[in-house]
Structure 1
Amino acid sequence: MPPSLFLLPRSLLTRIPFLPLSSRARALTMPVTRRPSRSLASEARSPDSKLDPGTECPGGVSDREKRAHLRKKRVKRIVEVDEKRAKEEAADRKVCDLIDIEDFAYDKVNLSAISTDAPANWEEVLDGIRKMRFADSAPVETMRHEKSASLVPPKEQRFAVLISSLLSSQTKEAVTTGAVQRLSEKGLLDADAIVRTDEATMASLIYPVGFYLRKAHHMKKVAEICLEKYGGDIPRSINELLALPGVGPKIAHLVMIMGWNNVQGICVDTHVHRICNRLGWVSRRGTRQKTSNPEQTRVSLETWLPKDLWDPINPLLVGFGRSVCTPLRPRCGTCIINHLCPSAFKEARSSSSKAKRSPN
């Protein structure tokens, strides 16, 4: 179409006859529409395809409508890619921001909702657990002894206690010990050294502890805070410890006991929480219902258990929970306090009955 004809009204254009183009002119005519590179490539591979400009596309769709449709598709594709990238970045930020990886979150417990009465025969039960534990030394007790016997300076020892406690969450004792040993060999149980080490190196050294990527990030943040606010040492109070990334009540109380020799509360993990509920030592007030989380168990225990037992109760019950009162199929038959336990043989019996009912 001659360029001058674009200046005429559309109503006149339909009335003007066009002369047929010569073969040379047809050869020089450029396509009117722009085509995606994929379309051109596919047409180049197909010998029968033609790039006729035409004013109408198959199905009666005009070139202008087709171009508009292609533009919308491109915009939609760009938006979808941007949304995908945004979701991936949000996921990365979520991993970096990190929720607490402890088994429970720190929250104030309403004392009126839990029982504060000392259970019957608790001293006899505790004495029986001690006898079983002395027959089989617990790994957690050995670990505590090794740390207390360390000859490193007190400040570095306290920081090492904090780091090893962070690593121990949701991780087996032997795995934690191996990770701490590798960090020690690299001189990375020091706040300044950790700050100067990249996260990838930290993660590779502590692998395969549970949540090792998150813990490597936490370690960096904790080291930065301790170096900036405490001169490379660790906080002296529960509240300050709880303000550190990845530190919940269990870790905070453990660090206070092992780092500062200051018993502020009972260190309650999943073993202590489970066993205390099985023994009927803790419950909701006025009912026989179990406490719903370890923090409720801690508060309930502290209302009646003598304070001189707040420190030894954790390693005692943790060892007992690993060897006898296990999470699945507890060994009630070998437990010498089964006649005093309200849960004796109940869970073991229910587990075996479920196994019988399950299809082969």
Structure 2
Amino acid sequence: MLTRSRSRSQSRSRGPGTGPGGDGEKAAVRRREGAASGSKPCHCPLKRPRKAKRLHVAYEVVDGAREEGKGASPLQVPHWEPQDWQQQLANIRTMRSRKDAPVDHLGAEHCYDSTVSPKVRRYQVLLSLMLSSQTKDQVTASAMQRLRAQGLTVDSVLQLDDHTLGALIYPVGFWRSKVKYIKQTSAILQQRYDGDIPASVAELVALPGVGPKMAHLAMAVAWGTVSGIAVDTHVHRIANRLRWTKRPTKAPEQTRAALEDWLPRELWGEINALLVGFGQQTCLPLHPRCQACLNQTLCPSAQGF
């Protein structure tokens, strides 16, 4: 009895697989076979192949396979546009139908001499735009008349001394700085462009005293090319009052980018003169005439005045 009990306990202490037919006996058989064949026994554990993980991509179609040869369609971004903008624009067109704002007869397209060569006309357009910054249209038009009386060309302007040029353009805003810019720009045009003006926005804004608004207007008036929306203080103010920008903007260039992001391109050439005249007559900076505005019920800012 003692012998049988000791035999059972020894068998249990060896653990599973060490008895007859267990893994221990099978391993011993493999070692003997390996020794007989002359190969070294391998003690490396066998690695089980890992199951490949499936990566799910955000735009991948999971519920059904696409037809062969058709890729995933690009992610569609919802197009933002202001509420009621088409009706607001139609109302502004109605209010501006008489074309009797200062910009309509004193703007840059009315300040050049139509009897001179196209090259000289383009130069005069650019100069009128340079003078118009921070200046009322009436003051700009008067300064242009005095300059044209002197024969307004690149050569004639370069022959004027600074004092005489200043007297001719006074009282336009920042007239002293503009004397310097006009002289510098005229010299560049004479040296690099044979007295003409550049035909690209990038080259125009590189000229002293020429900003983005002037460049886009020069492209439209002088070259007949709509390169972008010209945004001045009027366009900047009205676009924010009407909420024509996705979020409020603090500078005209931010407003230009915001408008060009959604406004149909065929309207870009119209919007400057339309809103400038509207800002001169109705949507004034300090005391807008909301009672006389057709957009009174559609304007988000009307209740604040």
2:141 matches 1:184: no
Residue 307 of structure 1 aligns to which amino acid in structure 2? R
Partner of 2:135: 171
CA 1:311 to 1:149, structure 2 compared with 1: closer, same or farther past 3 Å? farther
For 1:121-270, what aligned pairs fall within 5 Å after superposition? 121-135=84-98, 137-144=100-107, 146-147=110-111, 150-187=114-151, 189-270=152-233
Q: CA deviation at 1:197?
A: 1.2
Partner of 2:294: 336
Runs of 4+ in 1 over 4 A off after TM superposition: none
The structure where helix makes up a greater share of residues is 1
CA 1:148 to 1:199, structure 2 compared with 1: closer, same or farther past 3 Å? closer
Give the TM-score normalised by the residue count of structure 1.
0.61
Report if the CA contact (8 A) 2:150-2:156 is conserved.
Answer: no
Report if the CA contact (8 A) 1:116-1:300 is conserved.
Answer: no
Percent identity over paired residues: 51
Residue 277 of structure 1 aligns to which amino acid in structure 2? N
Unmatched segments (≥5 aa) in structure 2: 1-77
Q: C-alpha root-mean-square deviation of aligned residues, in Å? A: 1.6
Deviates more, 1:247-256 or 1:141-150: 141-150
2:258 matches 1:300: yes
Q: CA deviation at 1:148?
A: 7.5
Q: CA deviation at 1:135?
A: 3.8
Partner of 1:96: none
Unmatched segments (≥5 aa) in structure 1: 1-114, 285-289, 349-360
Partner of 2:282: 324
Secondary structure at the counterpart of residue 178 of structure 2: helix
Residue 153 of structure 2 aligns to which amino acid in structure 1? D
Q: CA deviation at 1:152?
A: 1.5
Partner of 2:41: none
Report if the CA contact (8 A) 1:176-1:209 is conserved.
Answer: yes
Secondary structure at the counterpart of residue 126 of structure 2: helix
Partner of 1:118: 81
Distance in 2 (alpha carbons) for counterparts of 1:318 and 1:229: 33
Secondary structure at the counterpart of residue 222 of structure 2: helix
Q: CA deviation at 1:283?
A: 3.1
Aligned length: 227
Q: CA deviation at 1:150?
A: 1.5
Give the TM-score normalised by the residue count of structure 2.
0.72
| Structure of higher CA gyration radius | 2
For each residue in 1:173-230, what CA deviation from the matched residue of structure 2 results, as whole angstroms up to 9, or x when unmatched?
111000000000011x211111111111100000011111111111100100000000
Report if the CA contact (8 A) 1:267-1:298 is conserved.
Answer: yes
CA 1:312 to 1:149, structure 2 compared with 1: closer, same or farther past 3 Å? farther
For each residue in 1:9-37, what CA deviation from the matched residue of structure 2 results, as whole angstroms up to 9, or x when unmatched?
xxxxxxxxxxxxxxxxxxxxxxxxxxxxx
For each residue in 1:75-111, what CA deviation from the matched residue of structure 2 results, as whole angstroms up to 9, or x when unmatched?
xxxxxxxxxxxxxxxxxxxxxxxxxxxxxxxxxxxxx
Secondary structure at the counterpart of residue 134 of structure 1: coil
For 1:38-117, what aligned pairs fall within 5 Å after superposition? 117=80
**Which of the residues 308, 311, 323 maps onto 2:269?**
311
Residue 145 of structure 2 aligns to which amino acid in structure 1? Q
